[in-house]
Amino acid sequence: MDLSAAFELRPDLVAWRRHLHAHPELAYQEHATAAFVRERLEQLGLRPSPPLAGGTGLTCLIAGDTDGPTVALRADMDALPIQEATGADYASTVPGVAHLCGHDAHTTMLLGAAALLARRRPEHGHVKLLFQPAEEGGAGAARMIEDGALEDPTVSAVFGLHVDPNQPVGALSVTPGPATAASDGLDIEIIGEGGHAARPHQAIDAIAVAAQVIVAIQQLVSRHTDPLQPLVITLGRIEGGFARNVIAPSVHLQGTARSFDPALRDRLPALLDRTVAGVTQAFGARHELTYRTGYPSLRNDAALIPTLADVVGELLGEGRLATGGPSLGGEDFAFYAQRVPGLMARLGVRNEALGLVHPLHHPRFDLDEGALPLGAAVLAGFARRYLATP
């Protein structure tokens, strides 16, 4: 397997990751990141595709010695609109933008896998590398698919890793079946009638109505849906009003809905509309609801797990791959897994001794770079084992 070769790459992997970490780019702005990836691939003697997915995505085919199936390996490249607070020497140089979800590590590990596979190409079949933009809300995977990333040659299966600060370095986990939730967005406009704070009877207080709407939506979750079907509705933003002595004429609420069950997801817009309408009408107000369907639920193909288990057992030893539970987080890898058998595993990057314990999307999130060669070896090993399996 490729573990010793991956550890030989460690200095390069650390350097690549720190360069990407220091120069983060938001969704569909990953031009410098894509150029960096393209240059590394060309140095390996590979031929990356023309730009895809709005100009910042790319693929790269590593052809085997003989024809056969094609397995895809995926990494996302975009950063988050958050100010980093790690204080690291390689911290983000871009104000308000940082790699706080580990996509710099994902890109680095896939480059490492590319180096391992280019050095020793598969005997049978092909490996397609997917470097995609805009996982953080931009549905970059869907754009990659639209631009033919799973075609020419046709991809038979897709595999990816996501860093996990809840597991120590050297540990991996995978969730059979539903692994991440469908992630949708909702906007609610509460429309009342403004007035003077001293004369509330002459107005319809949109803020007071909005408070009742927020409570009612939580009652929708607890009393109108099956408690055995996970559902979270979080209202993360509320905006309204002008001054302390003015009754607000309108309030805008923004939130997200997370679910696993497709039937429940289909019912949510009508349930929300009915709930909000009942509250607003009771107070003489009205509302407008916009429900935006986002990422689907990621459903891992359990038939691919034995391949991963064999690879992890051979590379890292028995007992290093655990069965994990589902997450209500969203992941656009789900778009690939809707089209072809897909599997995403979580790779431990936690190191308590170094203080690397903060969760994803935290301003102080960082990771143990000792995980980088492990991830590169697992990605390359999965591709080899899949292609070698009848």
Instruction: Give me the pLDDT at residue 2, please.
Output: 80
What are the tens digits of pLDDT across the range 75-102?
Answer: 999 999 999 999 999 999 999 999 999 9
CB burial readout 229-245, b (16+ within 10 A) else e: ebbebebeebebbeeee
Instruction: Give me the pLDDT at residue 239, please.
Output: 98
* Cβ partners under 8 Å of residue 120, min gap 6: 2
The conformation of residue 49, written as its DSSP 8-state character, comes to P
What is the distance between the alpha carbons of residues 125 and 342, in angstroms, rounded to a whole number?
Answer: 17
Measured CA angle at 142 (ends 269, 235), to 5 deg: 35
What are the tens digits of pLDDT across the range 145-202?
Answer: 999 999 999 999 999 999 999 999 999 999 999 999 999 999 999 999 999 999 999 9
Burial class (CB in 10 A: 0-12, 13-18, 19+), 283: middle
What is the distance between the alpha carbons of residues 242 and 261, in angstroms, rounded to a whole number?
Answer: 40
- Answer for the pair 65, 122: CB distance below 8 angstroms, yes or no: yes
Instruction: Give me the pLDDT at residue 389, please.
Output: 87
Instruction: Give me the pLDDT at residue 303, please.
Output: 97
The tokens 């429940």 sit on which residue?
264
Indicate the domain borders of the chain: 3-179+297-388, 182-295
Its CATH architecture, for the domain 3-179+297-388, is 3-Layer(aba) Sandwich (3.40)
Query: Mean pLDDT over residues 217-243, rounded?
Result: 94
- Answer for the pair 30, 78: CB distance below 8 angstroms, yes or no: yes
pTM comes to: 0.94
* pLDDT of 105 strictly over 80: yes
What are the tens digits of pLDDT across the range 318-364?
Answer: 889 999 999 999 999 999 999 999 999 999 999 999 999 999 999 99
Give 219's pLDDT tier (boundaries 50, 70, 90). very high
**Other C-beta atoms within 10 Å of 385: how many?**
18
Its CATH architecture, for the domain 182-295, is 2-Layer Sandwich (3.30)
Query: Mean pLDDT over residues 208-234, rounded?
Result: 95
- Answer for the pair 221, 179: CB distance below 8 angstroms, yes or no: no
What is the distance between the alpha carbons of residues 36 and 53, in angstroms, rounded to a whole number?
Answer: 17
Instruction: Give me the pLDDT at residue 85, please.
Output: 98
Give 390's pLDDT tier (boundaries 50, 70, 90). confident
What is the distance between the alpha carbons of residues 205 and 195, in angstroms, rounded to a whole number?
Answer: 8
Give 273's pLDDT tier (boundaries 50, 70, 90). very high
Instruction: Give me the pLDDT at residue 1, please.
Output: 64
